[in-house]
Amino acid sequence: DTGVSQDPRHKITKRGQNVTFRCDPISEHNRLYWYRQTLGQGPEFLTYFQNEAQLEKSRLLSDRFSAERPKGSFSTLEIQRTEQGDSAMYLCASSVRDSYGYTFGSGTRLTVV
């Protein structure tokens, strides 16, 4: 069990560019979650997958954001046409079905300049 891995750890991008983040969950976990955390705040829910199905998306997830989890393994989160307001820590977590506790990755810190 190597935990939840996120890549990259840090990303600096210019406004208007597209970025993609990757998350590798714990292998036996069938649920995967994406959260966003800004300075001084707790994580905010973005979306979650059960296996390969994306079952819920937050209203925070504008049409510039898309997430996939092909084959129910790793997941990607893409942000198109980044804006300065997208600067945040993007956290991925995984769990087994019906488990209340999550295992989080170390996050990807996005800075849009």
Percent helix, strand, coil in the chain, to 5, is: 5, 50, 45
Instruction: Tell me the C-alpha to C-alpha distance, in Å, between residue 94 and each of 40, 51, 53, 80.
Output: 23, 11, 14, 24
Residue of the chain from 68, 99, 111, 113 that contacts other proteins (CB under 8 A): 99
Number of residues that bind other proteins (CB under 8 A): 29
Q: Of the two residues 44 and 80, which places its CB atom closer to other proteins in the complex?
A: 44
CA dist., res. 104 & res. 31, Å (int): 12
Candidates 113, 112, 110, 99; CA nearest to 25 is 99
22 binds other proteins (CB under 8 A): no
Residues 37 to 66 in contact with other proteins, rule: CB under 8 A: 40-45, 48, 50, 55-56
Contact in structure between 112 and 86 (CB atoms under 8 Å): yes
Print the binding letters for residues 77-96 with other proteins: x by CB under 8 A, - otherwise.
--------------x-x-x-
What is the smallest separation between the CB atom of 81 and other proteins, expressed in angstroms? 27
**Residues at the interface with other proteins (CB under 8 A):** 4, 31, 33, 35, 40-45, 48, 50, 55-56, 91, 93, 95, 97-107, 109
